[in-house]
Amino acid sequence: MGRTVAKMAQLGERFRRPFFVYRSAREALKALLAGLHLGEKVVLLPDYVGWSSREGSGVADPLDELELSYRFYHLGPRLEIDLDSLKHELSHGDVRVVVLIHYFGYPAAGARRAVELAREKGALVVEDQAHSGLTDWVGGLTGRLGDASIYSLHKLLPMAEGGLLSIAPPLDEVIDPASQADGVQLPWNFDLHAIAKRRRANAQFLAKQLEALGSKVEPLFSPPGPGVVPQTFPVRLLSGDRDWVYGEMNSRGFGVVSLYHTLIQRIGPSDHPVTHALSRQVLNLPVHQDADEEPLKDLVRTLGLLL
C-alpha cells in the first residue's frame, strides 16, 4: 500500500513555518537572539550595516542592547557575500549565528554556499528579510535556506509599524510567545501578489529609463528577474554628489532615499573600503506600489539634469 491520497492535508509539521509578531524587524531580531542565550558566542554580520540619527541601526542596535559579541564578514561591490571572508571569520570556531541580509529585496548572492559554510561550523543562519518579505512570500526565493527570518512590514506596506519572525521548528521553542506585540496588522490584509507585480514592473521600467543616463548612473543589480521583488531600486551615482542629489530630488517631490548613507562606527573605512565606497554613492529609487510610470519617467529625467 502507501499509494493512497487523503482527502485533506493532515501532516501538521510538513511545510510548517510558525511566525511571531512584533512592532519592527529589530524587535523580532532581538527576541530571537535573546531566546538563543548566546553568552560569549559570536554573531557574524555583513559589513554593510547602516546607522542614522533618527532610526539608529536596525541590525546592530538589537545586538548592542543584548550586549552580544559580533564581527563582520566582507561583501563585494554588488553586495555579494565574500565567501573567503566568511570562511575566515567562521574558522575562529566561536560563531553561533550568521546573519545574511537580502538587501533591497534581492536574494543575497552566495547565500547557498554561505549557509553550507555556517552549518559546517555548527552556526545557525538568520535571514534578515527586512527588505525581502515579498521576495519570500510571493517569489519564494528567500527565507528557505536559513533557520529563521525577520521581516519589516512598514518597509513594504503602508503600515506605521510591523515586524515578523518566522522560525523553523523545533527552534521556535526558544521564542517566548509573550515577547510579541499586540495590535500589529498582518501582511495578509493586502494583495501581496498585486503589490509584488507593481514593484517588479516599476523596477524594470526604471532600469530601462536609466539607460538614457549612460555612465553617470549604474544600477547596483540587474532588473529584477522572476520572483525577485525589490524594496527599492538601488543605483550607484558615478557622477555628482550623492547627498546633494538626494536633497534636491526630495525637495522636487521625488522620494528617493539613501538607506545606508552612514555605516555604523564599527565598520571603519580602512578595514571595509568596498562597502564604504558604496555607502557614499548609493541612492535608492522608489518602486513602491503607489508609483506609476509617468512620475517615474520624470524622476529619471530630473535625476539626469542634476548629474
Ligand X SMILES: Cc1ncc(COP(=O)(O)O)c(C=O)c1O
What is the contact surface with ligand X in residues (CB under 6 A)?
24-26, 55, 58-59, 101, 128, 130-131, 152, 163
Element (H, E) at 282: strand 282-286
The least distance separating ligand X from the CB of residue 55, rounded to whole angstroms, comes to 6
Write 168-173 long-range contacts (CB < 8 A, 24+).
168/17, 169/13, 169/16, 169/18, 171/124, 171/147, 172/18, 172/20
State how beta strands 95-101 and 42-46 pair. Answer: parallel
The least distance separating ligand X from the CB of residue 131, rounded to whole angstroms, comes to 6
Answer for the pair 44, 69: CB distance below 8 angstroms, yes or no. Answer: no
Answer for the pair 217, 238: CB distance below 8 angstroms, yes or no. Answer: yes
The least distance separating ligand X from the CB of residue 45, rounded to whole angstroms, comes to 10
The least distance separating ligand X from the CB of residue 26, rounded to whole angstroms, comes to 3
State how beta strands 282-286 and 148-152 pair. Answer: unpaired
Nearest residue to the partner ligand X, using Cβ: 58
Nearer to ligand X among residue 24 and residue 289 (C-beta): 24
Lookup: cell for 202? 516599476
Rounded Cα distance, 307 and 302, in Å: 9
The least distance separating ligand X from the CB of residue 163, rounded to whole angstroms, comes to 5
Answer for the pair 256, 284: CB distance below 8 angstroms, yes or no. Answer: yes
The least distance separating ligand X from the CB of residue 148, rounded to whole angstroms, comes to 13
Nearer to ligand X among residue 24 and residue 135 (C-beta): 24
Neighbours of 293 (CB within 10 A): 12
